[in-house]
């Protein structure tokens, strides 16, 4: 179903992403593989392969696999703080994918320029107005506002504040919003506020087409919103980028790792760069344990607070169509309210 209301509010995002519906599946390491990305693309929405710290040869294979599964556009998400980030950026130059999303932290201007030189459209995350302006000055074609309610690597500002700081002030660039979104009703209001599109991650992590371990999905279905908590930073020298995940023994393991790293910094046996690598390697390994092996006790169950809104496993197409239907109902309700 695609009504005049949706045509009006979806137009900018659809044209930018070359899709039927400007709903984005947030890139999730070990989750956003060719099967899920292609399923989202074939359903008329948009998805990215998750670079994470995937070995280059495997990521290259995933690009080819995705191209075999769909003829729709898709992108690649690069984690700027991942150990293999620079190698992934070179892979982008080689394959000339149409969209590149920089995530994890903020890319350098030279890296944005390098991605754009391949012909790709570049999307960057922005957690404040100043960062949004900086990313645009670097050449970003669009922005993603991701509130701290989201899963995985997150900032410290809620989406409601980011909407007021950035979305309401910037009208000359497509802005996609993310963080704690789980219903079409919420999506409708974000479009009314001026969003070019919406990004959901946690909702797609439990899709039927997602190849994550069944126990991983079952844990999400049982979870409450309050269980998805953000990791603390024990010492500013660690440069920890907060990670939101369901609290379990893995959360406690990370706290212990921070204490150990602080001690090694004090002793001078590790540099700050080494520390950052150790932190990222920890999360990459813990996430694999949860997603691939189904270790819900010590693995990293990266989830947004929208996990509390998820109560069933269903196909990607159903997830998207349900969101669209809910949006249509809400847009129509708002229209009638304004007429009244």
Residue 129's pLDDT is what? 87
What angle (nearest 5°) sits at the alpha carbon of residue 215, between those of residues 214 and 217?
65
Q: What's the Cα-to-Cα distance from 276 to each of 175, 257, 261, 268, rounded to whole Å?
A: 30, 12, 10, 15
Contacts of 252 (CB under 8 A, 6+ apart): none
DSSP state letters, 223-280: --GGGEEEPP-S-GGG-PPPEEEE-SHHHHHHHHHHHHHHHHHHHTSS-HHHHHHHHH
What is the full per-residue pLDDT of the chain (340 aa) written as tens digits?
456 677 789 999 999 999 999 999 999 989 999 999 999 999 999 999 999 888 999 999 999 999 999 999 999 999 998 889 999 999 998 998 999 999 988 999 999 999 999 999 999 999 888 999 999 999 999 999 999 999 998 888 999 999 999 999 998 999 999 999 999 999 999 999 999 999 999 999 999 999 999 999 999 999 999 999 999 889 888 888 889 999 999 999 999 999 999 999 999 898 878 887 888 788 878 999 999 999 999 999 999 999 999 999 999 999 999 999 999 999 999 999 999 7
DSSP label of 99: E
Beta bridge partners, 75, equal 48, 99
Is residue 285 a contact partner of residue 295, using CB atoms and an 8 Å limit?
no
Beta bridge partners, 101, equal 77, 123
Residue 1's pLDDT is what? 46
From the centroid of its chain, how far is CA 311?
21
C-alpha 338/C-alpha 250 separation (Å) is 49
Contacts of 9 (CB under 8 A, 6+ apart): 191, 192, 331
Is residue 44 a contact partner of residue 19, using CB atoms and an 8 Å limit?
yes
Number of helices (H) and strands (E) in the chain: give both, helices first: 13, 11
Question: What CATH superfamily classification does 4-212+305-333 receive?
Answer: Aldolase class I (3.20.20.70)
User: What does pTM read for this prediction?
Assistant: 0.93
Residue 274's pLDDT is what? 85
| Integer Rg of the chain from CA | 19
C-alpha 310/C-alpha 300 separation (Å) is 18
* Burial call 179-203: b when 16+ CB within 10 Å, e when fewer: bbbbbbebbbebbeebbbbbbbbbb
Give the H/E segment covering residue 89: helix 85-95
Residue 240's pLDDT is what? 81
């Amino acid at each position: 179903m695609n009504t005049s209301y949706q045509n009006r509010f979806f137009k900018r995002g659809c044209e930018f992403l070359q899709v039927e519906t400007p709903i984005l599946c947030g890139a999730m390491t070990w989750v956003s593989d060719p099967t899920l990305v292609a399923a989202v693309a074939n359903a008329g929405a948009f998805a990215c392969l998750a670079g994470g710290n995937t070995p280059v040869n495997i990521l290259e294979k995933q690009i080819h696999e995705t191209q075999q599964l769909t003829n729709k556009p898709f992108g690649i998400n690069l984690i700027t703080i991942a150990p293999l980030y620079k190698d992934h950026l070179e892979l982008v130059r080689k394959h000339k994918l149409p969209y590149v999303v920089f995530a994890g932290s903020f890319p350098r201007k030279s890296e944005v320029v390098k991605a754009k030189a391949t012909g790709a459209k570049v999307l960057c995350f922005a957690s404040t107005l100043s960062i949004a302006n900086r990313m645009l000055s670097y050449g970003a074609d669009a922005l993603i506002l991701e509130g701290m309610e989201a899963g995985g690597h997150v900032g410290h500002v809620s989406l409601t504040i980011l909407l007021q700081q950035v979305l309401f002030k910037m009208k000359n660039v497509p802005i996609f919003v993310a963080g704690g979104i789980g219903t079409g009703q919420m999506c409708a209001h974000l479009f009314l506020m001026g969003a070019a599109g919406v990004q959901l991650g946690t909702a797609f992590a439990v899709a039927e087409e997602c190849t994550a371990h069944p126990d991983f999905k079952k844990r999400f279905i049982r979870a409450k919103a309050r269980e998805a908590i953000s990791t603390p930073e024990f010492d500013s020298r660690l440069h920890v980028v907060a990670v939101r995940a369901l609290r379990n023994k893995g959360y406690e393991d990370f706290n212990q790792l921070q204490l150990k790293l602080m001690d090694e910094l004090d002793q001078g046996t590790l540099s700050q760069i080494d520390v950052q690598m150790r932190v990222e390697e920890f999360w990459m390994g813990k996430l694999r344990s949860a997603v691939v092996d189904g270790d819900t006790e010590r693995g990293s169950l990266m989830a947004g607070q929208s996990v509390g809104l998820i109560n069933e496993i269903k196909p990607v197409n159903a997830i998207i169509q349900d969101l669209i239907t809910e949006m249509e109902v809400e847009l129509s309700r708002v229209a009638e309210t304004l007429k009244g």
